[in-house]
A and B are shown apart, each in its own frame.
Chain A
Amino acid sequence: MTPAHLSKAIGNSLKWVHKNMHFFDPTKKLLPEKQSHKMFSELQFFLSELVKGQSFLNRQAQDIIDEIRSFSRRIILSPDYYEQLQLYPSKFRMYGMAAMYFLSYWNGDDIQTIKDVIGRTCKTAYSISPEMPPFRKMEYLYCICSIPDIFNGNTDIEPSLIDEYARKSILRSSLDLANYTIHDEYAMTHAVFYLTQMGKRKIIPDEYPNIKECLIILAIKNMYEKDLDLLGEYVIDLCFCDCYSNEHLPTLIDFILNQQRSEGFFPRPQRNSIVDTKAMNHDSQDTDSIDNYHTTLVCAMALTNYLRNAFQH
């Protein structure tokens, strides 16, 4: 496994995403509303991470990233999209999070409108969703705090609140791994994303004992299960926790690389299909695209994070 291998694998996954880009457009209404917005939101999260490693990729991959960014800009800045944030503050998680991840990577001057919409809406959206699990609150707070113009206008929202919710999250639980469900594992991976602020902050071992050990054991366990979705998220977590010297990480990365299909996607784990594509009269090729997009985005992020940092350690 070399930087060239990693770069090629990431490039192939980007080509696959680019080829299936139309499914990520919620304004096209090709899929049910919730599904299409989820895909678009995850694409923005993906881009916000991938742009950090863009310089490690070849010219073709960089061009694809730029195209997907422009595609995203067109959607975010259309009134058809952004007016939904004000109309439906309870759907902020669907519409607003995508916009906030977009703002974290877009450098243009044409984004004041969307900033104003988010600035006006996010406080209401945050306070009308008290039942969100702690890791979702952490995500919310992380996104708001990472956009200075919006954050500075909301004195009720402080970065320290992320720590407050982290202490109520699964990270401070009894770590009852033998009883964990898939949802518990997702709660773990996501809580680490936002506690570390996507790798910018270190986890203090005394405050969160055994967390790194947990991440390693669960990553290996998901390798046995061939669950690339969770495995990819644990690899991202290990990168964010600065575990590049951990002896398991190369094995985990090699395993991920070996699972990539020739078309460029990473196959979803063998659980239920994400959406009933038969009901929407999609053919099997569309089903493959819709079913495998999430795992492909996650694995590409894992490989990018590793590529950015591992070879400097």
Chain B
Amino acid sequence: MKYGEWFNNNLSTIHLYPYDSFLVFNTLSMLHIENHDVYELKHDLVNKIEKLEIEDLALAPKFQIMLYSYLQNNPHDKITLLMRDWVAYLNKTTITDGDYSFPMYFFQELPFVPEKIVVNAPSQNAYKTFIQNSKTLPKRVLDYLEAHLIYHFQRNNFMIGMDLLKVTSALHIRNFITATCINKLALNFNVLGYFGLYQKTDFSETEKRHIFYRSLEALNILTEYCDHYDSLEKKVFDYHVKQ
């Protein structure tokens, strides 16, 4: 597989921070690549993660940590502690436009949204309820979200586009709008095995790191949309609520 070749050839030269181990492990797991090299790599990554201190964990993207413990089905003590606090935060009874819990904060960036987004839920699981039922959002807000998707993808703003696709996936929006964006994302995978078309093939170390993260983000999004039943985020969140 071309993606595997590029990563294998460059992983040893790209400077990864300790907390990057979560993103790499999760992406390799979701791609379901079964070979000896990947098995060894994942084993190394687990060892690195086991040695992380709380300060390192605090720097890692929360969702990637949650996803890791979901995929491992055997959460590390330190991770469990961190996640318990974050899940409690997400489980607040109300979510207002002032909150920045994933993925709500994306809505703050949308212009022309005429009112504040406020969700009041009678039970504890406001976040879960909100995500489960995308009809709580007025249709016009979803229209603005989809217009933003098209705006950014037409302009090849892939990083913003991918963030917006995470929102639509969390809201269970799968339609011809998300399909055209996913198709464009897939089209922009380089035939050499990484994400993006840069009009050159020799990269500096900084550029390689940038390409590395873009590629993993893009692979995660594509994998997310291949799941026709539940969004990855819902599955991960449900797993942690039960812990």
Contact = CB atoms under 8 A, between A and B. Distances in A.
A210 B176 contact: yes
Interface in B122-149: 139-140, 143-144, 146-149
B143 A251 contact: no
Contacts of B146: 217
Contacts of B139: 247
B183 interface: yes
A178 B112 contact: no
A247 B149 CA distance: 20
Interface string A206-250: 000010010011101101110000000000000000000001100
A4 interface: no
Contact of B150 (A210, A221, A247, A248): A221
Contacts of A210: 176
A266 to B, nearest CB: 19
Contact of B111 (A177, A213, A218, A224): A224
- Interface size range of chain B in the complex: 20 to 34
A248 B151 contact: no
B180 interface: yes
A180 interface: yes
A217 B180 contact: no
B112 A220 contact: yes
B65 interface: no
Contact of A175 (B144, B148, B151, B180): B180
A151 B30 CA distance: 62
Interface string A169-189: 000001111111000000000
B177 interface: yes
- Interface size range of chain A in the complex: 20 to 34
A216 B143 CA distance: 8
Given A224-B111, A247-B140, A217 B177 contact: yes
Contacts of B144: 220
B181 interface: yes
A224 B180 contact: no
B22 interface: no
A224 B153 CA distance: 14
Given A217-B150, A251-B112, A178 B143 contact: no
A221 B157 CA distance: 14
B101 interface: no
A164 B114 CA distance: 41
Contact of B184 (A174, A179, A220, A223): A179
B57 to A, nearest CB: 36
Interface in A128-185: 174-180
A278 B184 CA distance: 39
A173 B144 CA distance: 23
Interface in B94-139: 111-112, 114, 139
A223 B150 contact: no
A207 to B, nearest CB: 16
Nearest to B182: A178
A248 B184 contact: no
Contacts of A174: 180
A176 B177 CA distance: 8
Given A175-B176, A177-B177, A217 B154 contact: no
Contacts of A218: 147, 150
Contact of A179 (B143, B147, B177, B180): B180
B21 to A, nearest CB: 33
Contacts of A177: 150, 154, 176-177, 180
Contacts of B183: 176, 178-179
A178 B176 CA distance: 10
Contacts of B148: 221, 224
A224 B151 CA distance: 8
Interface of B: 111-112, 114, 139-140, 143-144, 146-151, 153-154, 176-177, 180-181, 183-184
22 contacts: A176-B183, A176-B184, A177-B154, A177-B177, A178-B149, A178-B153, A179-B154, A179-B180, A213-B176, A216-B143, A217-B143, A217-B146, A217-B150, A218-B150, A221-B147, A221-B148, A221-B150, A221-B151, A221-B154, A223-B147, A224-B147, A251-B114
Q: Can you list the 7 inter-chain pairs with the closest CB atoms, starting with the nearest?
A: A220-B147, A178-B153, A178-B184, A178-B180, A221-B147, A221-B151, A176-B180
Given A175-B180, A213-B177, 8 more contacts: A174-B180, A177-B176, A178-B153, A179-B183, A217-B146, A221-B148, A221-B151, A225-B151
